[in-house]
Structure 1
Amino acid sequence: MLRLYFFISLMCLVKSDTDETCPSFTRLSFHSAVVGTGLNVKLMLYTRRNWTCAQVINSTVLGNLNVTKKTTFIVHGFRPTGSAPVWMEDLVQGLLYVEDMNVVVVDWNRGATTVIYNHASSKTKKVAIVLKGFIDQMLVQGASLDDIYMIGVSLGAHIAGFVGKMYNGQLGRITALGYKEPLGNIDFYPNGGLDQPGCPKTILGGLRYFKCDHQRSVYLYLSSLRENCSITAYPCDSYRDYRNGKCVNCGIPQKESCPLLGYYADNWKEYLKQKDPPMTKAFFDTAKEEPYCIYHYFVDIITWNKNIRRGSITIKLSDRAGNITESRINHEPAVFQKYHQVSLLARFNQDLDKVATISLVFSTGSVIGPKYKLRILRMKLRSLAHPERPQLCRYDLVLMENIETVFQPIPCPKLLM
């Protein structure tokens, strides 16, 4: 079965070793991009024996590469200025931190450096042929295709795909950072896969306007290698359905676990085997800054207004230490009907272990006109990230429109949980 794992829609740029005694990533100038460069592929090996100082290897000299371990290839993409990718060193170190493996940086900067994108893309198959020759030699020495993992960024994802095709889809795994359309077994769409929070929205943002959204995929993948951030994604048909809380069943007890973004997405492959075809789109939201984690809660509200109320809810949580986190649930106006439960998906930048107080604000969004009340029979807060935590309730609340109501929640009776 073709085993591909694609990360979506963004990406692009490596700070190499400053020690001149160690091989470093090829650095070229904008002049080289203008006049063009001939293709030259350099493979640099990092292991836990040489974390920071690379060893140049090729199909005849495998160096310290241990064919009995996993080998991860990192393949960069288009380099219009000739600079080294700023994220490369962090990615190498992060991979080695989470697992004892071989990490091979595929430096094809002499070939990727050009101001004409088509000139770079025309060389991708040639790079793939070089990599196949190297992997063939690994196989001769006893390596297994199951242990080959390729991380491709932008045009590097195309190269990884070509290599995978040369082996009839038998590579252990491919992660592609930088493509919108669904192609893999799991395609992850952060914030819907388009504009990313924290990135410039207009050309006034300068160079970041052109590369920030695209580059974010790399940094989201990097976050998965850190201990303080596990980004959960939710299989869903659309971003709209995800935002409306229709696709979070994987996060509740007695259901399958939700897929994790990044390095540990592979843990979800057993569930993929049950699907036909084995493909899934997964959506999630992120914060605008590292480590990008968002924590999901459901806010269940039952109202007893005689008339239907339409509006949005802003919820704020605080703990006894003074930490405060807020979520504005305003993706689409909620419809509150008498004695009907409305379940709203709230997203917070912090995950408070013990919530001391909750505040709610109801708004219809109307600038002029009468102010309305929302009469709440019961409100319940439940964590998706930690379903084992006690659910919190409050009863008989009246929210005056645009007025913050603060209260202390109580544990929900078990019969309601």
Structure 2
Amino acid sequence: MLHKVCLQWYLIFLCLGCWVNSEETCQNFTDLNIHNAILGTDLKVKLLLYTRENVNCAGNLIAENSTAFKYLNVTKKTIFITHGYRPTGSPPIWIHDIVVKLLSIQDFNVICVDWNRGATTLIYHHAAAKTRDVANILKTLIDKMLSEGATLDSIYMVGVSLGAHISGFVGKMYNGSIGRITGLDPAGPLFTGTPPDERLHYSDAQFVDVIHTDIDALGYRESLGHIDFYPNGGTDQPGCPKTILGGSEYFKCDHQRSVFLYMSSLNDSCSIDTFPCANYRDYRMGKCTNCEDFSPRGCPVLGFYADKWKDYLVAKNPPMTKAFFDTAAKNPFCIYHYHLDFVTLNSKTRRGYITIKLVSTDGNQTEYTVDQTKVQAWSSANETKTNYKS
């Protein structure tokens, strides 16, 4: 009897041990704090692999005796997600959601580039100085994948802030032959005004698309890709605090919005249409609603599916396009865009306001006043109006 009891307890502890060991194989994103940021952190990178087989249990591809390679199928497209500067040390709040959304589309290899040890510091330029080192580590993994049958066409890099420039550095090492880079509000400080070999550039991949959401503060103002998207003109995103009374959100909300806009493009509910244009003012004046240059596909869409316009965009001379659009204040951010033309019949110039009322089928109403005090008879008064998509 005692022997049976001892055997039962032994099996229980053995099973518990197996459960603990299996849990230890799941790697989490490095979670640091303000104490680490004050002291600064040395660079230590984890490459966390997720597939549909292990969507909730990442494996570290560069850990000693890693078993994660059993999930890495080099014949599939591989998407690298690289974050930026982390002044507080906490993991990005969006990191798990972007993995889940990508894997809901297709069974990719999704690799989260966790360089939180290195990005966590109160001194921004210390983190920026480590970006090329991170890129070299990524090249080592990509070289291994290529030796096992992967192709550069299948490599897709999504970089946030400093991560956008890291992605560019990786692309330069392969002479721009990797498939695609998406830059999500590439970092501006220390990179603005630098030559192309020191930052993200459209020559770093076969297709480079960029979303700019904080060009007047933390982001990069000028064009960097084959197509550069400027939601709401690239500044002051709807729903973000306008004053410092908004706390930490005042500093990061605009910058971070690029990530949430990209994730919104992974939903089936709606797409975000954009309008190639010289500047935001011309777009708002209704001068850029014609997308005949992209016929029959139409105006480019933001985010994951932007590469459907690749052939049109890379063939341009120079191969750089700016696109503007407006968004809602919250997810899914999609809105309708209306182009309205007014032609006056009187031959004299008149001053005044034009108010437009839109009424939906369910009774919701929106009013809008055209921002133009002079309406001239010899020209059309053009304005692009936006309204929420339901």
**TM-score tier (shorter):** 0.7 to 0.9
Contact 1:325 1:350 in 2 (8 A): no
Structure-2 change in CA distance of 1:334 and 1:214 (3 Å): farther
Deviations 1:251-284 (A, max 9, x none): 7996551111110111111111331121111111
- 1:266 aligned onto 2:307: yes
Q: Which amino acid aligns with 1:153?
A: V
Runs of 4+ off more than 4 Å? 251-256
| Corresponding position of 1:371 | none
Instruction: Indicate which of 211, 218, 222 corresponds to 2:259.
Output: 218
Instruction: Indicate which of 363, 368, 377 corresponds to 1:337.
Output: 377
- CA distance in 2 between counterparts of 1:67 and 1:249 reads 41
Deviations 1:40-67 (A, max 9, x none): 1101111111222212213985331111
- CA distance in 2 between counterparts of 1:173 and 1:263 reads 11
Length, aligned pairs only: 331
Q: CA deviation at 1:318?
A: 1.7
The answer for unaligned runs of 5 or more in structure 2 is 1-22, 186-219
- 1:37 aligned onto 2:78: no
Note the 1:121-140 alignment, pairs <5 A.
121-140=128-147
Task: Kindly indicate which of the two structures has a greater share of residues assigned to helix.
Answer: 2
- 1:158 aligned onto 2:199: no
Structure-2 change in CA distance of 1:125 and 1:95 (3 Å): same
Instruction: Indicate which of 344, 348, 352 corresponds to 2:387.
Output: 348
Identical counterparts, % of pairs: 60
**Secondary structure in 2 matching 1:94:** helix
Structure-2 change in CA distance of 1:251 and 1:200 (3 Å): farther
Instruction: Indicate which of 85, 100, 123 corresponds to 1:93.
Output: 100
Contact 1:191 1:283 in 2 (8 A): yes
**Secondary structure in 2 matching 1:44:** strand
- 1:309 aligned onto 2:350: yes
- 1:196 aligned onto 2:237: yes
Deviations 1:283-342 (A, max 9, x none): 111111221112111222233335322344332222343233444432x4452417x543
Q: Which amino acid aligns with 1:288?
A: A
- CA distance in 2 between counterparts of 1:228 and 1:252 reads 27
Normalised to the residue count of structure 1, the TM-score between the two structures is 0.75
**Secondary structure in 1 matching 2:370:** strand
- CA-based RMSD of the aligned residues comes to 2.1
- CA distance in 1 between counterparts of 2:294 and 2:140 reads 47
Contact 1:326 1:348 in 2 (8 A): no
- CA distance in 2 between counterparts of 1:95 and 1:151 reads 12
The answer for unaligned runs of 5 or more in structure 1 is 1-18, 352-417
Deviations 1:108-129 (A, max 9, x none): 1111110001111111111110
**Secondary structure in 2 matching 1:110:** helix
Structure having greater relative contact order (Cα 8 Å, sep ≥ 6): 1
- 1:230 aligned onto 2:271: yes
Contact 1:325 1:349 in 2 (8 A): no
Q: Which amino acid aligns with 1:64?
A: Y
Normalised to the residue count of structure 2, the TM-score between the two structures is 0.80
| Corresponding position of 2:318 | 277
- CA distance in 1 between counterparts of 2:360 and 2:82 reads 44
Q: Which amino acid aligns with 2:323?
A: A
Q: Which amino acid aligns with 1:106?
A: V
**Secondary structure in 2 matching 1:52:** coil
**Secondary structure in 2 matching 1:187:** strand
| Corresponding position of 2:76 | 69
| Corresponding position of 2:89 | 82
